[in-house]
Structure 1
Amino acid sequence: MPESLAQAITRAGSAVDLLRNAQARPTVFPVTPEFSNWRSEQQSWRTSVALLDQSHHMTDLFITGPDALRLLSDVGVNSFAKFQIDQAKQFIAVNHEGYLIGDAILFYLAEQSFDLVGWHMVLDWVQFHGETGDYDVSFERDASSVVREGDPKLYRYELQGPNALALMEKVTGAEVPATKFFGMATFTIDGVEVRSLRHGMAGQPGFELFGPWADGERVRAALIAAGEGLDLVLVGSKAYSSANLESAWVPSPLPAIFSGEGTDAYREWLPVTRTGSLAGSLNSDRIEDYYITPYDIGYGRSVAFDHDFIGRAALERHAAAQNRQKVTLVWNPEDVASAAQSLLEPGLPVKYIDFPKARYGQHQLDRVLVDGKDVGISHDVGYITNEHAFVSRASIDNDHATPGTEVEVIWGEEPNSHKPAVEKHRQVSMRATVQPAPYSAFARENYRKS
């Protein structure tokens, strides 16, 4: 049997030591990195239409049975009172202390049938409670292509950009019916039935198309053919991995599974291979210092206290004392350039800053300071071509979250960890300015209207 997370923590000495020196790669997107170049590909979802392949890097957890909806309601903070077939939602779960486990997209496919899609963190939590609780429910797990043998069960393509609607009407030969954000519809493309989620990944109008893997290449070819004259751009993994920087989604906060009520059994159940790595200048021996609440990263709108769920009482207390909020930090260009220049000078360089995505662990947590005092955590970090800006998503104390506030981000680890993506480097302070999240005005004003 594979080593459990509990066994791995015992071997490493602590959860922090295990995660900070984990040999897992920061992120893996097993698709073409660039079809042209990631700068032009980033621009396509703002100026024309982008086609992105999501078939390989995410996990699908298919949940079926009479108690499937009850399980999701017992675990998720969302309201399920009006949830219906052909709808989707951002599913969010917390631990018993109200700290975030993670999020994923939940598709209501048919009666007693759901697909939970995304990072494995929240999928694992749901499956554990379904298997160990009193639920008449079954699971089928289709992991990412990094670990799966054979083809995916489903293809999944994303169309994003101002020309996405025109492309859909061209490829289907019909007017696209009005569909609310996160609503689903069914289309016919080249004689193949295709299901669609109305979505806005980078703040632009878009569609997420999915269906049986055997139909995938036929659908993709039809989309490419219909894209002629509409400036369709194929987007690779480099640009795709940075799209969240525009929409302000934080893709992989550390799941609060390493302490708290009911987590001992979970760590015994969970294979250590399904835990990632911890990176950044936040370096505390207390694993709880890395936890966040849903409110810290803007998920408060999804919390509904209309049902009982794991962590409800604790989350109500967090709701009454929302101390932090999600912002964008725009890093000082001179400081980013200076970090790059250090590679060309004698001596120990600054931690390498990769483009377009610069995080070097699955869970990136960097200290944010004002006048030498910690005021927040910087999460995902990278470059937005469309804004000519190097930015990070951050959770900041309310007193320092006003746009225009000057802060510092501590970049690099001290001491250096032993993760594969960490070279010998020195830690530095990067000036940054607080701005709204999303940073793009279009995304802020139109994300859920498209």
Structure 2
Amino acid sequence: MKNPAMRHSPAIPFDPKVNLYSGFGGNMKPYEFTGWRDETMSWKTTAYLAANLNPQPTFMLQGPEALKFLSDHCVNNFEWFPVGTCKHAVMCREDGIIMIHGALIRTGDDEYYSYALAPYIDYLLAKGGYDAVGENISGKVFLFQVAGPRSLEILEEASGDNLHDIKFARHRMSRIAGKDVRILRIGMAGTLAYEVHGVIDDALEVYSAIYEAGQAYGIRRLGQLSYSLFNHTEAGFPQGFIHFPYPWHEDEGFVEYLKETGQTTRLTFNLRGSSGQDITARYRNPVELGWGGMIKFNHEFVGREALEKEVANPRRKMVTLVWNKEDIIDVYASQFEPGEPYANMDRPSEKDYLPSIVTYYADKVLKDGREVGISSGRIFSCYYREMISLCSIDVEFSELGTEVIVLWGEEGTRQKGIRAVVSRFPYLNENRNTDVDVSTIPVVSKT
């Protein structure tokens, strides 16, 4: 029976079988449904349904100069951005450090929706200077993710609609459970993936319809533990608040805006790992994250001068590190030996889901005793049976097969150098969403 005092997510149907919850995001979400091992296998073998991003920071932008506003503040090229398409938008400050990134879709001639760009996009627009208006509609809408090799079949079963025409980074309207929804072919799983958007009042019915339609295809629901870090690290999608921090607290105007609008929660952070307490060492620019290809210098934008230099002469590159199994076992074994043990690896991923503070985990990466990179987003991949992380590493050490050391444990504690090998990025490189030929998938729809 649901506890009436529980602030349960309005986007996820209550399940009496779930007995552990996370308060991350302002409401209670199931921590696990069928166990993290089973859930994290889903986007490689069947498919998952995830509502964990709700309430998703969503901002609607309209007006004759809406596109100019976006062009002035994003590194992206907007010369080609027709209605019905999506972009991964990145906003930087003058020195090229990322201030925020997220998804951006165009729904009309002068209408755009952004996801995860708020509250920074709100702040920039509030400064004025553009013939455009915006509205933060977070909490008024829902966003579901359906990802994995059976995701298209599941959504066609749920909608009764032939969705094969939706190409990668495209979207269009459809209906599920008699409700209007927008279906997008994007996602963070790396494999074939879609998103379903709609108004929050329809969320529970749409969620239930998708889950019911997915039963014949082995669908899994993602709990909070399985969400965010596993797919982002495996699939090679570095993420703010997880793999790296945003320097929001250094922008005085933005801090004041957050205080005025009651959005200061994410200004409170905790730094963990051997990288230490200098948060600036954890900042990232889009080039070192592997996003250099989306930076276009055919327009003026904030951070252009710094990024021109970075693109011309990159200092670091994003790679995956595969950690040495013997060294990992040694970390576990230290708990059964006398004396101080190494920092534990009890959790399958290095991510906290606390409602009031953001914890960043990052470790120094060494070569011959010299610091050459920073590792973050450690996970145990059940699919690959490997401990892996993402690493921003000096270009000269980025070749596949290079052996490095991840310094495990914080300064002042017992530390261990864990051997690791520079590996492919993204690590999950088969059946990528960009490459899947959906014509090979049977049409399930009834229309």
Q: TM-score, normalised by structure 1?
A: 0.83
Alpha-carbon distance in 1 for matches of 2:416, 2:113: 43
State the 1:28 CA deviation. 8.1
Task: Decide whether aligned partners of structure 1 residues 347 and 314 sit closer, same or farther in structure 2, where only a CA change above 3 A counts.
Answer: same
Aligned pairs (5 A) from 1:22-421: 30-56=28-54, 58-118=56-116, 122-143=117-138, 152-241=139-228, 242-252=230-240, 253-257=244-248, 263-271=251-259, 272-275=264-267, 276-283=269-276, 285=278, 288-359=280-351, 362-415=359-412
State the 1:386 CA deviation. 0.8
> Secondary structure, in 3 states, of the residue corresponding to 1:71?
helix
Alpha-carbon distance in 2 for matches of 1:67, 1:363: 37
2:418 pairs, out of 430, 435, 443, with: 430
Equivalent pair of 2:271/2:360 in contact (CA under 8 Å): yes
Alpha-carbon distance in 1 for matches of 2:157, 2:24: 39
Task: Decide whether aligned partners of structure 1 residues 142 and 279 sit closer, same or farther in structure 2, where only a CA change above 3 A counts.
Answer: farther
Identity of aligned residues (%): 31
State the 1:225 CA deviation. 2.0
State the 1:184 CA deviation. 0.4
> Secondary structure, in 3 states, of the residue corresponding to 2:197?
strand
Alpha-carbon distance in 1 for matches of 2:56, 2:162: 31
State the 1:264 CA deviation. 4.0
- Residue 434 of structure 2 corresponds to which residue in structure 1? 448
C-alpha RMSD over aligned residues: 2.3
Which deviates more, 296-305 or 130-139? 130-139
- Per-residue CA deviations over 1:295-340 (Å, capped at 9, x if unaligned) read 1110111111111101111111111111211100011112222222
Partner letter of residue 254 of structure 1?
Answer: P
- Per-residue CA deviations over 1:215-273 (Å, capped at 9, x if unaligned) read 111112211221232111122111122111221111122224465xxx44334434443
Aligned pairs (5 A) from 1:10-29: none
Q: Which has the higher helix share?
A: 1
Equivalent pair of 2:52/2:223 in contact (CA under 8 Å): no
State the 1:26 CA deviation. 9.5
Partner letter of residue 227 of structure 1?
Answer: G
Partner letter of residue 192 of structure 2?
Answer: P
Alpha-carbon distance in 2 for matches of 1:402, 1:212: 46
Task: Decide whether aligned partners of structure 1 residues 59 and 106 sit closer, same or farther in structure 2, where only a CA change above 3 A counts.
Answer: same
Task: Decide whether aligned partners of structure 1 residues 307 and 207 sit closer, same or farther in structure 2, where only a CA change above 3 A counts.
Answer: same
State the 1:404 CA deviation. 1.1
State the 1:60 CA deviation. 1.6
- Per-residue CA deviations over 1:278-309 (Å, capped at 9, x if unaligned) read 33212365x54333221111011111111110
Task: List alignment gaps of at least 5 residues for structure 1.
Answer: 1-24, 144-151, 416-424
Alpha-carbon distance in 2 for matches of 1:52, 1:375: 36
Task: Decide whether aligned partners of structure 1 residues 382 and 211 sit closer, same or farther in structure 2, where only a CA change above 3 A counts.
Answer: same
Equivalent pair of 2:118/2:136 in contact (CA under 8 Å): no
- Per-residue CA deviations over 1:349-395 (Å, capped at 9, x if unaligned) read 22222433114664333211010011111121111111111111111
Alpha-carbon distance in 2 for matches of 1:345, 1:27: 39
- Residue 13 of structure 1 corresponds to which residue in structure 2? none
Task: Decide whether aligned partners of structure 1 residues 223 and 284 sit closer, same or farther in structure 2, where only a CA change above 3 A counts.
Answer: closer
> Secondary structure, in 3 states, of the residue corresponding to 2:152?
helix
> Secondary structure, in 3 states, of the residue corresponding to 1:186?
strand
Alpha-carbon distance in 1 for matches of 2:174, 2:95: 43
Partner letter of residue 412 of structure 1?
Answer: G
Alpha-carbon distance in 1 for matches of 2:317, 2:165: 33
Equivalent pair of 1:378/1:392 in contact (CA under 8 Å): yes
> Secondary structure, in 3 states, of the residue corresponding to 1:220?
helix
Alpha-carbon distance in 1 for matches of 2:223, 2:112: 28
Partner letter of residue 369 of structure 2?
Answer: G
Task: Decide whether aligned partners of structure 1 residues 41 and 327 sit closer, same or farther in structure 2, where only a CA change above 3 A counts.
Answer: same
State the 1:44 CA deviation. 1.3
Task: Decide whether aligned partners of structure 1 residues 49 and 266 sit closer, same or farther in structure 2, where only a CA change above 3 A counts.
Answer: closer
> Secondary structure, in 3 states, of the residue corresponding to 1:441?
coil
> Secondary structure, in 3 states, of the residue corresponding to 1:238?
coil
Task: Decide whether aligned partners of structure 1 residues 153 and 269 sit closer, same or farther in structure 2, where only a CA change above 3 A counts.
Answer: closer
> Secondary structure, in 3 states, of the residue corresponding to 1:243?
helix
Alpha-carbon distance in 2 for matches of 1:40, 1:57: 25
Pairs aligned (count): 400
Which deviates more, 216-225 or 63-72? 63-72
> Secondary structure, in 3 states, of the residue corresponding to 1:365?
strand
Alpha-carbon distance in 1 for matches of 2:271, 2:67: 33
Task: List alignment gaps of at least 5 residues for structure 2.
Answer: 1-22, 353-357, 437-447
Equivalent pair of 2:380/2:387 in contact (CA under 8 Å): yes
- Per-residue CA deviations over 1:16-68 (Å, capped at 9, x if unaligned) read xxxxxxxxx99888421111111011111111121111352532223333332
Alpha-carbon distance in 1 for matches of 2:404, 2:26: 31
Partner letter of residue 298 of structure 1?
Answer: G
Alpha-carbon distance in 2 for matches of 1:386, 1:308: 43
Equivalent pair of 2:97/2:284 in contact (CA under 8 Å): yes
Q: TM-score, normalised by structure 2?
A: 0.83
Alpha-carbon distance in 1 for matches of 2:140, 2:74: 25
Alpha-carbon distance in 2 for matches of 1:331, 1:26: 29
Equivalent pair of 1:31/1:56 in contact (CA under 8 Å): no
> Secondary structure, in 3 states, of the residue corresponding to 2:400?
coil
Task: Decide whether aligned partners of structure 1 residues 290 and 206 sit closer, same or farther in structure 2, where only a CA change above 3 A counts.
Answer: closer
